[in-house]
Structure 1
Amino acid sequence: MQIGCPKEIKTHEYRVGLTPESAAELVAHGHAVLIETGAGAGIGAPDTAYIAAGAQIAADAAEVFARSEMVVKVKEPQANERAMLRPGQILYTYLHLAADPEQTRDLVNSGAACVAYETVTGPGGGLPLLKPMSQVAGRMSIQAGATALEKAHGGRGTLLGGVPGVAPGRVVVIGGGVVGFNAAQMAVGLGAEVTVLDRSADVLERIDTHFNGRVRTLHSARALLKAEVAAADLVIGAVLIPGAAAPKLVTRDMLRGMADGAVVVDVAIDQGGCFETSRPTTHSDPTYVVEGVVHYCVANMPGGVARTSTYALNNATLPHALALADHGLSVALTRDPHLRAGLNVLGGMVTYEAVARDLGYAYHPPEEALKVA
């Protein structure tokens, strides 16, 4: 199979879909790999590293899309990239369609087969292709929040760890999944006072056991959430409903109860965000203020630590890329129900139920779509 990897063009996105090592693995399996020139520069991988791995270098993205049977990316394709997709071509990347009706429309119209990292499941449950970026984003959320709390960045001037004689900052994490767990881990490491809210008793028990009581755990009832948000210096939105739009758990009214200069970090912004006042921002302009509260809503947080993120992502995505390339889309998805769960769009059909429901499309189960595509 001819596999292509274009350079990411989203603002301040430095990750790359294939590392030189991943390219070498694909080549070893007998596939041809085409990398857009400069695609690996953000992780310190020059074109020469890809050439040494057996890949070819393309002059631009247009060449990559035109020559490739499968396109491997990191972020969702931008409008000009979507225009280059064609029927039957495989797109393998993060998509987050439920919060992006324009992208969904374009992918449906393209006729391409679109496999989303974020909805591929694992044998033991969970979302193994989303997990590494959730780990990165969870840890980065505390770094970003701590910086935003500094007075020079618009915050209230609170040091999360405090100092002897001065209380530490109060961090509230909404959601105890992978993002929330990693956020709590970083916040505890800094010495903050940490509370995690979740609706799963099992999740709360796991967190309580792991942190040996160092983290407060609370069931996420609305009244309790409102009180905790009001008392927090930093709130991390770490809510995920796989493939679906994030619920708006924190309202504007709740924000009014927070102190001026308090900070919220919405890690769920890829799925629309879990704060009513959230809107996507970029690494070049990461924050804005609503109701006196600093909002950090960067939609590609892991792009800020591109090298770590790219290698962590490739560790998870490469096995499925090999399966798609070795066996073709239909056979690979028929054999593996977990990879099949990643199919969001195929031949003009929406094949992920939550996306179809949230955006008003007819839902076509992937098993049925594969038979007619």
Structure 2
Amino acid sequence: MRIGVPREIKDQEYRVGLTPASVRELVSRGHQVVVQAGAGAAIGLTDHSYKLAGAQLAGDAEEVFASAEMIVKVKEPQPSERALLKPGQILYAYLHLAADREQTSELVKSGAVCIAYETVTAPDGSLPLLAPMSEVAGRMSVQVAAAYLEKPRGGMGVLLGGVPGVAPGHVVVIGAGVVGANAIQMAVGMGARVTVLDRNVDRLRHLGLVYGNRLVTLYSSADAIERALLAADAVIGAVLVPGAEAPRLVTRAMVARMKGGSVVVDVAIDQGGCFETSRPTSHSDPTYVVDGVLHYCVTNMPAAVARTSTFALNNATIGYAMALADKGWSRALKEDPCLRAGLNICQGNVTYAAVASSHGCTYVPTERVLG
């Protein structure tokens, strides 16, 4: 199979779909890989390193898309990239379609086979291709919150860890999944006072056993969320419903009652966000203020640590990429129900129920398109 890796063009997105090591794996199995020149240059992955791994270099994205049977990306294709997709071409990337009607419509029209990293599901129900970026984003969220709590950046001037004689900052984490657990780890490590809310009591019990009295666990309800928000200096939105829009658990009225100068980091923004006041932002313009509360809602947070993120992502995605290349998409999906769960759009059909529901589209089960 001929596999294409274009340079990412989303705002300040420096990750790359395949590392030279991943290219080498694919080439060793008899596949051709074409990489757009400069795709990894910003994070130290030079064109020379790709050539040594066996890749061919292309001058622009048009050349990559024109010849490839499978496109491997990191973030969802931007409008100019969607226009280059061809019927039957495999797109393997993060898509987050439930919150993006325009992209969904254009991918349906393209006739491409679109496999979303974020809905590939392991036998235990975990999301192995989403997990590494959730780990990065969860850890980053507390770093970001700590930075924006500084007065020059618009916060109230709180040091999360406090100092002797002064109480530490209070971090509230909504959601105890992968993002939440990593946010908790960072916040506790920085010495903050930490509260987590979730409806999975077993998950709360586990975190309570790990952190003891350094962590307050609360069953999530509208009342519990509101009470926690009123005492919070920073709030991390870490809610996930796989493949679907994030539930809006925090209303505008709740935000209006928060402390002035407090910080919201909505990691769920890729799926629409879990705060009613959230709207997507970029690394170039990351924050805005609503009712005195600073909001950080960057849709590609891990791009800020692009080198770490690229290697972590490739560790998770390369196995499935090899399966798609070795077997072709139809056979690979038929043989692996975990990978099959990643199929969101296939040759004009929406094949993921939550995406179809979000946009009022006709849902076509994957089994039907696979015959």
Give the TM-score taking structure 1 as reference length.
0.99
- SS of the residue corresponding to residue 370 of structure 2 reads helix
Could you tell which deviates more after superposition, 276-285 or 94-103?
Answer: 276-285
Answering whether residue 8 of structure 2 is matched by residue 8 of structure 1, we say yes
Q: Aligned ranges for residues 218-367 of structure 1 at < 5 Å?
A: 218-367=218-367
Deviation at 1:284, TM superposition (A): 1.3
The residue that corresponds to 1:74 in the other structure is: 74
1:182 aligns with 2:216: no
How far apart in 1 are the matches of 2:104 and 2:209?
Answer: 41
* 1:240-286, Cα deviation, whole Å (9 max, x unpaired): 00000001111110011111100000000000000001011111111
Whichever residue aligns with residue 342 of structure 1, its letter is: G
Provide the C-alpha distance between the structure 1 equivalents of 2:196 and 2:76, rounded to a whole number of angstroms: 30
For residue 229 of structure 2, what is the amino acid of its counterpart?
A: V
Q: Alpha-carbon deviations, 1:281-338, whole Å to 9, x = none?
A: 1111111100000000010000000010000000000000000000000100000000
Amino acid at match of 2:338: H
Identity fraction in percent: 66
Partner of 2:217: 217
Is 2:209 the counterpart of 1:197? Answer: no
Q: Which letter does structure 2 place at the counterpart of 1:302? A: P
SS at match of 1:212: helix
Please identify runs of 4+ aligned residues in structure 1 that moved more than 4 A. Answer: none
AA partner of residue 141 (structure 1): S
Q: Report the equivalent of 1:30.
A: 30
- TM-fit CA distance, 1:135: 0.2
The reply on whether 1:167 has 2:167 as its aligned counterpart is yes
Which amino acid in 2 is paired with 1:13?
A: E
Structure 1 residue 123: Cα displacement:
2.3
What is the rounded CA distance, in whole Å, between the counterparts of 1:21 and 1:282 in structure 2? Answer: 29
For the aligned residue pairs, the C-alpha RMSD in angstroms reads 0.6
Q: Name the CA distance, whole Å, in 2 between partners of 1:299 and 1:210.
A: 30
- Give the counterpart letter for 1:32 in structure 2: Q
Any unmatched runs of 5+ in structure 2? none
AA of the residue aligned to 2:12: H
Residue segments in structure 1 that go unaligned for 5+ positions in a row? none
Match of 1:206 in 2: 206
CA shift for structure 1 position 41? 1.1
Amino acid paired to 2:310? T
- Equivalents in 1 of 2:101, 2:65: separation in Å? 22
Question: What is the rounded CA distance, in whole Å, between the counterparts of 1:156 and 1:149 in structure 2?
Answer: 6
Q: What's the secondary structure of 1:195's corresponding residue?
A: strand
Deviates more, 1:120-129 or 1:301-310: 120-129
Q: Distance in 1 between matches of 2:266 and 2:80?
A: 27
Distance 1:105 1:124 in 2: 31
Match of 1:34, SS state, is: strand
Amino acid at match of 2:4: G
The 2-side partners of 1:182 and 1:116 are apart by 23
Provide the rounded CA distance (Å) in 2 between the counterparts of 1:125 and 1:254.
32
- Given residue 160 of structure 2, which amino acid in structure 1 is its aligned partner? L
Letter in 2 for 1:261: G
| TM-superposed deviation, 1:124 | 2.5
Q: Deviations over 1:19-51 (max 9, x none)?
A: 000000000010000000000112210100000
- What does the per-residue CA deviation read over 1:51-92, in whole Å, with 9 as the maximum and x for residues that have no partner? 000000000000000010000000000000000001000000
Q: Could you tell me how far apart the structure 1 residues matched to 2:339 and 2:183 are?
A: 28
> How far apart, in 1, do the equivalents of 2:210 and 2:325 lie?
40
TM-score normalized by the length of structure 2: 0.99
Give me the whole-angstrom Cα distance separating, in 1, the residues matched to 2:58 and 2:323: 24
Distance 2:88 2:224 in 1: 50
Amino acid at match of 2:368: E
Aligned residue pairs: how many?
371
Paired residues for 1:133-172 under 5 Å? 133-172=133-172
Counterpart in the other structure of 2:370: 370
State the alpha-carbon separation in 1 of the partners of residues 99 and 230 from structure 2.
27
| Equivalent residue, structure 1, for 2:92 | 92
Distance 1:170 1:191 in 2: 10
Indicate the SS of the match to 2:124: coil
